[in-house]
Chains A and B, each alone.
Chain A
């Protein structure tokens, strides 16, 4: 690959500068966070409960809360989202109803996450009587993730070459056989990549959870979805509003842990996608 030079290719050179700005900006950001966080992150920080004293505070409950929320989101959003995508692409006749479902899903993906919090408060916390629990948080985040899962899964399914589909039908395969043996193996990596993007969006969401009502102090890590709602992003928010320097470092430490968590998730999914034979997300 040749480097664009400013004389022969000014646009290419400008794009290269833009890429460098992004790279160094990100490195500076990560270095700042890492330096601030290095003062606090340790085993006690990962296990300890939140505290009014900055030097003994930890993210134990918040980390457990975020892991629970990710699990619930996956359990709820993946089957419904991927199922909807398969139905819309492979089964549904082109009627007005499916057109409406399609446009609703596409538009929901663009709605700010705080709106989902208000819906979750009215529906899960109040109407269904879940209270501000991990379960209500997981349901809300699942609804938040759903449109993204549907839209990206549909795109992946649509990219499967029509020839595969037609050949399978020509050999007498049923619809489900086509989906299971032809569509999913080819579209799988793309679907996985899309789901990963959706999870990254939900794992970092603080606004919808703050609307549901999160714990400011929690002495224990949630052990069931019926326990009160807490999460890393809301804990970061709570610490970041205090002026005391110690809490700024705590917020940075929690942010680094959240970033690492998402990074590991993305690496695992990239690895799986590669094993399945698709392009890395």
Chain B
């Protein structure tokens, strides 16, 4: 065999190996469903994904947690198929996402509260008012010790742990408590990982933290949930109080976002339908309050309408631009409606 021939054989082997590695001969062509976003919705997403994978073991589901902001950004850049968000999209996010050529559905799937947590060894505090929270967390907060919050409390330094700026819980909490979304003091430990907030609070007797109420279940005995005086007396963020609105200013709907054209994929659309139906049952179990039944019926109707539209559309309309749009994950705004 000549040297050139040997090189050719080598090259074709290398190409074959690379092709094997990239498209994967073991793969059966099923789409990997990527969910990214809010940590507040993570316990429910995890429970639903697990149940779905048990019923359909060939399903391929990946869940990442990068905060509502991070998840929505990746969703609009087509790096994630489904975004989990603990707040609705902002107007500017929506404009950017539409400009990128995406049409999408926003489906509320559960409701939770923002839980205020302290160390169990801190027995001095039981309940905080919204005004006190505003004084603690505001951008020009002067609160350094618990005595600054309320004169009867000990003069111990308040160490603060909370969500980072990509978090939907952060934007929601600052809007409710401070009055402007994103307005917060910055001298606190901020992270998109709720478990790190919980670990921080569990390790410091005089700390205070906040995150989505469902995640506190992962830390039994390490945290104490504070009641919040919302004007109706001190209320704990229990599923019952969240559902009937007593925890109201600090409870919010959690959303899933999905791009319409992905619903043409059998796997994505059955997962979305499963999520909406299962969350009605699993919400309570995973520490959330379920939404009224009518909301879930509306979600199902929205999903099936969007699905039949994109399925019909892709059957009727297969010109080059359409094919290109599907390949790049972007669907033009025009089209029959």
Interface of A toward B, CB cutoff 8 Å: 49, 51-53, 131-132, 213-220, 223-228, 241-244, 247
| Complexed CA–CA distance, A218 and B33 (Å) | 10
Contact with A along B205-249 (1 / 0, CB 8 A): 000000000000011111000000000000000000000000000
| Complexed CA–CA distance, A59 and B46 (Å) | 16
Q: Which of B96-135 contact A (CB under 8 A)?
A: none
| Complexed CA–CA distance, A51 and B22 (Å) | 28
Q: Assess the B62–A243 pair: CB atoms within 8 A.
A: no
Q: Quick check: is B311 within 8 A (CB to CB) of the other chain?
A: no
Q: Assess the B65–A228 pair: CB atoms within 8 A.
A: no
Q: What is the CB-to-nearest-CB distance from B26 to chain A, in angstroms, rounded to a whole number?
A: 4
Given contacts A223-B27, A241-B193, A242-B219, contact A216 B43 (CB under 8 A): no
| Complexed CA–CA distance, A49 and B51 (Å) | 12
Q: Assess the B27–A217 pair: CB atoms within 8 A.
A: no
Q: What is the CB-to-nearest-CB distance from B242 to chain A, in angstroms, rounded to a whole number?
A: 20
Contact with A along B30-72 (1 / 0, CB 8 A): 0010100000001101110110110000011111111000000
7 residue pairs A–B, Cβ–Cβ below 8 Å: A132-B64, A216-B46, A216-B65, A217-B46, A217-B49, A219-B49, A219-B62
Q: Quick check: is B294 within 8 A (CB to CB) of the other chain?
A: no
Q: Assess the B24–A226 pair: CB atoms within 8 A.
A: yes
5 A-B pairs closest in CB distance: A224-B24, A219-B53, A217-B63, A241-B195, A243-B219
Residue on A nearest B22 in the bound complex, by CB: A226
Q: Quick check: is B196 within 8 A (CB to CB) of the other chain?
A: yes
Residue on A nearest B197 in the bound complex, by CB: A241
List the A side residues contacting B27 at CB < 8 Å.
223-224
Q: Which of B172-222 contact A (CB under 8 A)?
A: 193, 195-196, 198-199, 202, 218-222
| Complexed CA–CA distance, A215 and B36 (Å) | 9
Given contacts A52-B50, A228-B32, A228-B34, contact A242 B63 (CB under 8 A): no
Among A217, A225, A247, the residue within 8 A (CB) of B62 is A217
Q: Quick check: is B79 within 8 A (CB to CB) of the other chain?
A: yes
Q: Quick check: is B91 within 8 A (CB to CB) of the other chain?
A: no
Residue on B nearest A52 in the bound complex, by CB: B46
Q: Assess the B222–A223 pair: CB atoms within 8 A.
A: no
Q: Assess the A219–B59 pair: CB atoms within 8 A.
A: yes
Q: Assess the A242–B218 pair: CB atoms within 8 A.
A: yes
Q: Assess the B50–A219 pair: CB atoms within 8 A.
A: yes
| Complexed CA–CA distance, A244 and B198 (Å) | 11
| Complexed CA–CA distance, A97 and B202 (Å) | 54
Given contacts A224-B27, A227-B32, A243-B220, contact A219 B22 (CB under 8 A): no
Q: Quick check: is B4 within 8 A (CB to CB) of the other chain?
A: no
Residue on B nearest A225 in the bound complex, by CB: B21
Q: What is the CB-to-nearest-CB distance from B291 to chain A, in angstroms, rounded to a whole number?
A: 21
Q: Assess the A223–B24 pair: CB atoms within 8 A.
A: yes
Residue on A nearest B286 in the bound complex, by CB: A52
| Complexed CA–CA distance, A269 and B219 (Å) | 42
| Complexed CA–CA distance, A211 and B119 (Å) | 30
List the B side residues contacting A223 at CB < 8 Å.
24, 26-27
Q: What is the CB-to-nearest-CB distance from A73 to chain B, in angstroms, rounded to a whole number?
A: 14
List the A side residues contacting B26 at CB < 8 Å.
223-224
Q: Which of B129-173 contact A (CB under 8 A)?
A: none
Q: What is the CB-to-nearest-CB distance from A61 to chain B, in angstroms, rounded to a whole number?
A: 9
| Complexed CA–CA distance, A277 and B220 (Å) | 56
| Complexed CA–CA distance, A249 and B214 (Å) | 22
Q: Quick check: is B23 within 8 A (CB to CB) of the other chain?
A: yes
| Complexed CA–CA distance, A220 and B62 (Å) | 8
List the B side residues contacting A213 at CB < 8 Å.
64, 66
Q: Which of B56-94 contact A (CB under 8 A)?
A: 59-66, 79
Q: Assess the B43–A52 pair: CB atoms within 8 A.
A: yes
